[in-house]
Each structure stands twice: as C-alpha cells, then as structure tokens.
Amino acid sequence: MLYALFRWPVRLLLLFFFRRIHRIGVDHVPKNKAVLFISNHSNAFMDPILIASFQEREIYFWARAQEFKQPIYNWILKNLHILPIYRIRDGRKLMNKNRQTFASSKQLLAQNKAMYIAPEGNCTVEKRMRRFKLGTARLILEIMEEKGWDFELEVVPVGLNYTYHTKFRSEVYMQFGAPIKVDSYQELSVNDRTKAVRALTNELEDGLRSQLIIVKDKADDELAEQILLLYRNSNTQSYWPIIADNERWCHDEQKLATWINTLAPAEKETLKQRLDQYYKKLERAKITDRALAQQNKPALGNFVKLALGWPVFLVGIVGGWLPMQLARMTRNKMVKDIQFWAGVALVWGWIYWAVYSLVLVVALVIMWSWWALLLPVGLIAAQYLALEYQEIWKAVSEDTIYQKWSKGHSKQNRVLKKEREAIIKGLGDYS
C-alpha cells in the first residue's frame, strides 16, 4: 500500500528534479520472469528510486540495517519493500540476521518478483565503479541451486550515469544492459563454490562496467567534465521529451571517457591547459560555451513564450518556492555527505509540497469553493512550466549576450570558434 502510494508522486518528482531522463535498453528488462537489477551506487537512495519508479513491477531492495533502528523507520522501510543488510561494523553477531534477508530475497525471486541490489555496497559520488561485494553472487548461486539450474533468473546490469550527481535540473542516462546468464556456473558452483562466487562477481562487474561512463583517475574528473560539457553543448536539445532514449549521446560520452583514460599524463596536462585557457577566455568575454557552439539568434517563438508565459511563471514560482526552500534548508541541516543530497532533497520536497498544498486547498475550500480541490493539479502544471520558462529565459539571455558581443568582437569570435573546433577535433573518435 505504502509503496503504491509513493510510486507516482516520486516519479513525478523525478521529472521535476531532472531536466531529462534517458532510459536506454529497456527491452532487456523481462516482464514476467524473476529479475535482479544491479547498478553502480553513486547517488545514495536516488539510485534505487530511479530504477524502481519507472518499472511497472514492484521492486524489493537491500539497504544497510542501521536505517531500521527506529520503529517508525523500520515500519516505513519494510512497507517500501526494503530488506536490512548487516555489515561487519554492525557486529558479527548481527550479521547472522543476513540469513533471514537472504531467505526472504530467494523466496521473492522464486516467486518471479523483481529485486534491486547495489553490489558495491557503499556509496561514493564519482564516475567510477568500485569492486563488488560477494553477497550478490552468493545470493544468485544459492537460489539457482535451490530452484534448479533451469530456473529463469535474469540479472540485468543498469548503468546510472548522472551528468551532475547533485545538481537540480541535470540529466541522467539510465542504461539497461543485456541480462547476464548464470546457468553456466552450475558445474563450477558444485565443485568449488568460492571460485564460482568470485568468477560470477567478476562477470557481474564486467556486465555493469560496459553500461557506465567511467573516468578511472579521480585527478581527471575536472578534465572529463570540461570535455563532456563541450560535447553536450555541441548537441542541440529541445525541452521535450522529458523521458528520452538517446543511446548515441550516452555511448559518445562513454567513448570520450574511455579516450581520456587512455591519454598519457603529458597529453592530459597539455589538454588541461588548452581547455583552461579556452574557458578563461569565455569567462572574460562573459559568454557561454553553449552560446558559442550553437550560435543561435534568439527565436521569436521564445520571446512569445516569455511574453505570454510570465503569469504562469509567477504562479509556479510562488506555488513552489516555499516547499523548495524548506527542502533545501532541511537537506543542508540534516545531511553532511554529498551522496545523500539529491535523495534527501527529493523526499523532503515531496513531503513539504504535499503539506503546503493540503493547507492551501483546505483554506481555499473554506473561503471559496470545492473547486479548490483542483489546485494541486494546477500548481503541478504551473511549477513545471515555470522551470521551462526559466530555462528559456536563460538560453535567450545567453544567446542575446553572445550575439551582441560577437558583433563588436568579430575577430575574437572567429578565434574562439576555431579554438573550440580544434579542441573538438582532437577529442578522439567518438562519432
């Protein structure tokens, strides 16, 4: 009941939080078989929320046991289909309780249910993948032995690739890979369980790695973001659809990240210097890379949208400002670890918005009429259109500033365009 109650509001919130959600390879997800989703873990509970919210089937999860300590949290989490996993830091005696979680998980999969596990265990905000814990492979082999090796268990790797992990109105590539076949481990599992667990863990890692945008060296993070920003700004994007399946963009970013990983230290340093100089020139000119790359003249249609849309914009801003500010304040007060920022802001945003809307509806029903019950629907529409309005305003402002600057600095404009083109051409073969 609680799971169903949360699913649609959370899905709606995700469409507000992200500017665009790319769902790639969804055909790999079975509809009626037992399925185990595995993903990287770089954005706390935003990761399972993203996967679960856009599946028609209900999904069951693992989460660290310390979150279940308070009775109210224990009730909420269990009703959201979350099962506790105990770690060594919780005490070796408590780790015995994992047997019950394993038993419950195997029972769910045996009933052709869907589960999600993040095999890395801990969460770190980064474009990297850490070594898997062995528990996922153990669970898979145990259920195959108990149900028989002809049991159809689909293990689907899901790469969650955030353009920016904690940034509001960023994008995410949710890439589903081909199911990993586990029936080939029968003989090895019978003869040497430990070896089978490690071998399967390695295959799970390989399957997920192929779905990820990976920057191997943390020292290259800034370089990678500068390059990926150049690529994104080279692609013209419309405001719709919100849910997309642009496989090419995701694969291009994977290729760019792989290319960065292969560069020699001296090559990286030279490229860093070129990019730093380029971005400093943009900053001094007070123009953006997007405006330079696309060279758009502000469209008449956008001016019309801005002129006619400001009343809706004001309603949306006023209607959503208080819940958004309260969610940010709560997140900043409660959360120290950056990996929890997005998820906590999302949940508290939903709570504050629900309470805020309820208060408004009750007040307007008393003072006006029962038509006020439609207010939440109107607020949702107005608040989303207000976000689009802000993005149009930002784009028009950037394009206007660039057009004015380029007319007065034509020589500098040509130099910057050539410099950008030269950098793009030198980024390896990602086409």
pLDDT at 68: 87
Rounded Cα gap, residues 24 and 213, in angstroms = 14
Residues 311-326 pLDDT 10s = 999 999 988 999 999 9
Q: Give the residue from 156, 138, 177, 132 showing the smallest Cα distance to 25.
A: 177
pLDDT at 430: 62
The domain spans of the chain are 2-212, 219-295, 300-419
Q: What is the DSSP letter of 302?
A: H
Q: What strands lie across the sheet with 20-24, from one edge to the other?
A: 82-85, 59-64, 114-117, 34-39, 153-162, 171-176, 20-24, 243-244
Environment class of 12 (CB within 10 Å of its CB; exposed 0-12, middle 13-18, buried 19+): middle
Helices (H), 174-246: 186-191, 193-209, 221-234
Spacing of C-alpha 199 from chain mean position: 29
Rounded Cα gap, residues 175 and 159, in angstroms = 5
pLDDT at 152: 95
Q: Which residue has the higher pLDDT, 124 or 430?
A: 124
Q: Give the residue from 238, 4, 257 showing the smallest Cα distance to 127.
A: 257
Mean pLDDT of the residues in the chain? 93
Q: Given a cut of 60, is residue 431 above it in pLDDT?
A: no
Q: Given a cut of 60, is residue 335 above it in pLDDT?
A: yes
Give me Rg for the CA atoms of the chain.
24
Rounded Cα gap, residues 79 and 396, in angstroms = 46
Cβ pair 305, 295 in contact under 8 A: no
pLDDT at 325: 93
Q: Give the residue from 64, 42, 59, 43 showing the smallest Cα distance to 6.
A: 59
Domain 2-212, CATH class in plain words: alpha beta
Rounded Cα gap, residues 117 and 161, in angstroms = 17
Q: Give the residue from 153, 83, 169 showing the smallest Cα distance to 387.
A: 169
Q: What are phi and psi of 36, to 5 degrees?
A: -120, 110
Pick from 169-183, 249-263, 334-348, 405-419: least confident: 334-348
pTM of the model: 0.94
